[in-house]
Copies of this chain bind each other. A is one copy, B any other.
Amino acid sequence: MSPTRLVEVRQNVLNKNDLAARALRQRFEEAGVCAISMVSSPGSGKTALLERILTTMRERYRVAALVGDLATENDASRLARSLAPVRQIQTGTICHLDASMVGCALEGWRLEEIDFLFLENVGNLVCPASYDLGENARMVLLSVTEGEDKPLKYPTIFHSADAAIITKIDLAEAVEFDRTLAHGNIQAVRPGIRILEVSAKTGCGIEHLLEWISERRLHVD
């Protein structure tokens, strides 16, 4: 297959996803759901952070989550401890969530009973960038252990995000994390983006993150 043909095929798949994402976005809007997606490398701490978010937010809001993984239902089981409704999407060999997977996973849920719906993508800093999930906002996570250069090396996904969340900040000292360099690299790729630093383990920075998330809903109501 020629590269041109491959690009065409990819384009068709993406166009199909854009249509599905548009339909999802309309459903979310009509039901008053604020959808927030999370993307990152494997192991950046999406699930740990999401558990903390769900546990804290469910005191004030009706929250739910869909979590994507190639295999296992580990994440959904972990998140079930938050007592929020959670469903796992097993993608098999597919390296990202797409809008139709999200649509199918919502089957049977009454959207109008959800204030915030979190969409945790498969751990991958490349492919999820291109797939609109109909979300209101996208958070990209970067752990302090991954290296400050990641935004420069994976610019597309940082560019597609509305906030950059630096995770595992409790390990910053142990890994000699260079905060100025990391912030500079994020801003170089996505000027003006909101950067928040958190630790799901200690709870540090979580309040500011929840504030940012809650503000996303103002755009929905």
Q: Is the CB of B12 within 8 A of A42?
A: no
A68 to chain B, nearest CB (A): 10
CA of A218 to CA of B120, assembled, Å: 45
Give the contact stretch, choosing among A25-33, A49-57, A111-119, A153-161. A153-161
Q: Is A147 an interface residue (CB 8 A)?
A: yes
- The smallest beta-carbon distance between A45 and chain B, in angstroms, is 8
A side interface size, CB within 8 A: 38
Contact bitstring A184-211, B, C-beta under 8 A = 1, else 0: 0000000000000000000000000000
Cβ A71 vs Cβ B41 within 8 A = no
A146 at interface, CB cutoff 8 A: yes
A150 and B42 in contact, given A126-B122, A145-B171, A171-B175 (Cβ under 8 angstroms): yes
Does the CB pair A72–B42 fall under 8 Å?
no
Number of copies: 2
Q: Roughly how many angstroms separate A4 CA and B126 CA in the complex, as a whole number?
A: 24
Q: Which of B70, B152, B154 contacts A126 (CB 8 A)?
A: B70
A168 proximal to B (CB < 8 A): yes
Tell me, yes or no, whether A179 is within 8 Å of chain B by CB: no
Cβ–Cβ contact B1 & A123, under 8 A: no
> What secondary structure prevails in chain A residues at the interface with B?
loop
Inter-chain contact A95/B124, CB cutoff 8 Å: yes
Q: Is A180 an interface residue (CB 8 A)?
A: no
Is A13 an interface residue, CB under 8 A from the partner? yes
Asked whether B13 lies within 8 Å of A153 as measured between CB atoms, the reply is no
Q: Is A69's CB within 8 Å of the partner chain B?
A: yes
Interchain CB contact under 8 A, B153 and A123: yes
**Chain B residues with CB under 8 A of A150:** 42-43
List residues of A whose CB falls within 8 A of some B CB.
1, 6, 9, 12-13, 16, 41-43, 69-72, 74, 93, 95, 122-127, 130, 143, 145-147, 149-150, 152-156, 168, 171, 174-175
19 A-B pairs with CB atoms under 8 Å apart are: A1-B12, A6-B13, A41-B146, A42-B154, A69-B153, A70-B154, A70-B156, A71-B152, A72-B149, A74-B149, A93-B130, A95-B95, A95-B124, A124-B125, A124-B127, A145-B168, A171-B171, A171-B174, A174-B174
